[in-house]
Chains A and B, each alone.
Chain A
Amino acid sequence: DTAVSQTPKYLVTQMGNDKSIKCEQNLGHDTMYWYKQDSKKFLKIMFSYNNKELIINETVPNRFSPKSPDKAHLNLHINSLELGDSAVYFCASSQVRASEAFFGQGTRLTVV
C-alpha cells in the first residue's frame, strides 16, 4: 500500500524518443506535483495540479506535458527527449497548500 507510486523506476531511452512516466497516489490528496532532481541533487518544481487543474507551470520546455485524468493520477509525457533531460523525476502529493508533501520513489531517466 504505497502512498505515492511512480512507474517506471528506471527508464533508459535514446534521444528523440517520446516517453511517459505515471504517478498515482492513494492518500486522498487533492494536489500533485512533478519535480526534477538533477545530478547535483537540486530539486526543482515543474508542475502542480490541484483537483485536475494546472496551478503551477514553471519554465519547462513545452516538450514536457503533464496530464491529470483524475485527482489521484498525474502523468508526465516527454516528447523528443534530449540528453539534458537525464535526471530523476519525482512525483509528490499533498493536501492543498499543506506543508507536508509525500514523494514517490522517483524515476531515473537516462537519455543516451
Chain B
Amino acid sequence: QKEVEQDPGPLSVPEGAIVSLNCTYSNSAFQYFMWYRQYSRKGPELLMYTYSSGNKEDGRFTAQVDKSSKYISLFIRDSQPSDSATYLCAMRETGGFKTIFGAGTRLFVKA
C-alpha cells in the first residue's frame, strides 16, 4: 500500500462547477498537508498548506484535513479553464525532511 493514494483521473468538469479533489494516506505521523498545482511542462507550485486537522480557505480554494479518517480534500469553487492542471497532494511529518507526494489528479475545466 502506498503511503499516499490519489486518483489520477482525469477529471473533466464544466466551467463554474465545484471541484473536489481527494487523497488518503496511511501514515498517522503526517502533520503537514499540502496541495500543489502543476501546469503542463512546468514545475509544481504550492497552492495551499494546512497543519494538522481543519479547514483553510484562500479565495476559490478550500483545503480540508480529516486526520481521524486520514483523508484530505481540496475544493475549487467556480472553476475556470485556467484551473486545468494536475493537482498533487503532499504530506510530511513534523520535523521530517521528506515530503511524500500523491500521484496527482489531472483536472480539465471546459469552457
Contacts and interface: CB of A to CB of B under 8 A. Distances in A.
Interface of A: 4, 31, 40-45, 48, 50, 55-56, 90, 92, 96-97, 99-106, 108
Interface of B: 8, 32, 34, 38, 41-46, 49, 51, 86, 88, 92, 95-101, 103-104, 106
A45 B98 contact: yes
A96 B97 CA distance: 7
A100 B32 CA distance: 10
A44 B97 CA distance: 13
A97 B31 CA distance: 12
A100 B97 contact: no
Nearest to A43: B101
A110 to B, nearest CB: 14
B101 A106 contact: no
Nearest to A94: B99
A42 B43 contact: no
A41 B32 contact: no
Nearest to A33: B99
Given A99-B32, A99-B34, A99-B92, A41 B106 contact: yes
A99 to B, nearest CB: 4
